[in-house]
Amino acid sequence: MSRRASLNRVTKETAVQLELRLDGGDTQIDTPVGFLNHMLELFAHHSGFGLKINATGDTYIDDHHSVEDIGIVLGKALYEAAGDKLGIARYGHCVLPMDEALVEVALDFGGRAYLHCDLPFAASKCGSFDLQLIEEFFRALASNAKMTLHIMKRHGANDHHVAEAAFKAVARALKAALAITSDALPSSKGVLE
């Protein structure tokens, strides 16, 4: 079974090309948002997924459209690559420390989109990056992957560390949820949408 997806999304605001391999592969991230590039490289490394993203966008306005659209495409790719979900673990959980920061993530890759994001930041920006966009990215990701995603900051003073911990924890929780652990569908209903 080939667990991969290749998607393109082109709007008047952005163009995103993305290739995802759930069972590993190369990582190449090239977007106009430097901070997001860093977070996505961490995401790919800690998930073990092969991830290639090439994106352009109207960052002369701000980073919002680019960040959100990349989240949309990555979410759609996760949903497509998971296929019929036969044998996946379905649930994933990670409590991840990054120096003084600690972030907890729990998710259900079960076909119902929901995001609870409790990531209060000390400042509004990290460098030039608007930290509000992290929740926008994860909302787009959860909605389009059709997963329930809870992200909670337990503590942390350094915003960069908190953001890193969140992306790494989501990656590790997804790695666990999408791991093949049986030959059965992980649902008592017999259906995962």
Cβ(23)–Cβ(114) below 8 Å: no
Q: Which residue has the tokens 């995401």?
A: 43
Q: What is the pLDDT of residue 1?
A: 65
Q: What is the pLDDT of residue 168?
A: 98
Which sign does the torsion angle of CA 51, 193, 95, 130 carry?
positive
Q: What is the pLDDT of residue 2?
A: 86
Among the listed residues 142, 182, 116, 137, the one whose alpha carbon sits nearest the alpha carbon of residue 35: 137
Q: Is 0.85 surpassed by the pTM of this model? A: yes
Q: What is the DSSP string of the chain?
A: ---EEEEEEE-SSEEEEEEEETT---EEEE-S-HHHHHHHHHHHHHHT-EEEEEEEE-TTT-SHHHHHHHHHHHHHHHHHHHTT-TTB--EEEEEEEETTEEEEEEEE-SS--EEEEE---SSSEETTEETHHHHHHHHHHHHHHT-EEEEEEEE-S-HHHHHHHHHHHHHHHHHHHTSB--SS-S-TTS---
* Measured distance CA(35)–CA(52) in Å, rounded: 16
> Is the pLDDT assigned to residue 187 strictly greater than 80?
no
Domains and CATH numbers, the chain: 4-177 (3.30.230.40)
Mean per-residue pLDDT over the chain, rounded: 96
pLDDT in tens, 22-62: 999 999 999 999 999 999 999 999 999 999 999 999 999 99
Q: Which residue has the tokens 């959980």?
A: 93
pLDDT in tens, 65-117: 999 999 999 999 999 999 999 999 999 999 999 999 999 999 999 999 999 99
Q: What is the pLDDT of residue 6?
A: 98
Q: What is the mean pLDDT of residues 152-168?
A: 98
Bridge partner residues of 6 (DSSP): 19
pLDDT in tens, 109-156: 999 999 999 999 999 999 999 999 999 999 999 999 999 999 999 999
Bridge partner residues of 116 (DSSP): 150
